[in-house]
Amino acid sequence: MPKYGFLGLGIMGQAMAANLVKAGYDVTVWNRTADKCEPLLALGAMKAQTPAEVMAACDICFAMVSDPAAALDLCFAGQGVLEGMKEGKAYVDISTVDAETAIAIDKAVRARGGRYLEAPVSGSKKPAEDGTLVFLCGGDEELYREASPALEIMGKALFHLGEVGSGARMKLVVNMTMGTMMNALGEGLALAGKTGLDAETLLQVFSQGAIDNPMFSMKGPLMARGEYPTAFPLKHMQKDMRLALQLGEQAEQPLPVAAAANAQFIKAKRQGGADSDFSAVFDVIR
């Protein structure tokens, strides 16, 4: 059985690593804030002092960090992933980054004799806890097959989309669409409220028609009560919207609806909602 590493134990990484440990895998963990390792150590994981130590100790190392800057730092900084990388080692980055970041990390890993797979996920806190994430992979196909048993513990569906960068692009398209949908749901709830309609009834109507979807049914009732328990932080959604708009620029594809949604997330972040759930954008809509 391969030895796994896991770097980055935030909302998502904590739950994903826990599922690997509970499934009986040998897992070594690291997090910049060391006390976040404690729940996993209690489950049976081992702890390393640096990303390089984790990489050196495992066959396949997973990473889940917040943004491109963090992903690059994790890889290239002193005592980072590259310092523990050698022939035969494998690195699977689950973080949501732009394609250029994924390609840069892939090139550096392969230069050290290692293998790389990008595998950003569609899903937030609850799917991470339940092991029902969707993995959007690009890169080394042999590594994709080798990592699949572990990915299947953490997720319900795996896609290999082609070369490195394709997973990053797919994830940005998915999150861009989700971010615009969240703004549309907020505007619908706000307009209903200001015209004397009941929010709960509106959500019931949604659930019976073509726009029924899990996000509306899960987030809608909480939003109507002004509650935003953090499953996917608003600051991360805004980062993904920004990266998606950059991708649109590169592809010469206008994205006016996404740009308007991004502006609302920026406003919500500036008003103190950065660490709230991304559904808290409703506070600047209503």
169, burial (CB in 10 Å: exposed 0-12, middle 13-18, buried 19+): buried
Distance CA(106)–CA(114), nearest Å, equals 9
Closest of 61, 78, 79, 53 to residue 115, by C-alpha: 61
User: Nearest 5°: phi and psi at 139?
Assistant: 120, -145
State the Cα–Cα distance between residues 22 and 4, nearest whole angstrom: 13
- At 66, phi and psi to the nearest 5? -80, -30
CB 183 within 8 A of CB 285: yes
Q: Structure tokens of 260? A: 């308007």
Residue keyed to tokens 């290999």: 160
Lookup: tokens for 102: 């994924």
Pairing of strands 26-30, 90-93: unpaired
Residue 189 CA, chain-centre distance (Å), reads 27
Q: Note if 171 is an active site residue.
A: yes
Given 89, 171, 235, 239, which residue is catalytic? 171
How far apart are the C-alpha atoms of 279 and 214, rounded to whole Å? 14
8 Å CB contact between 83 and 109: no
Q: Which residues are catalytic?
A: 171
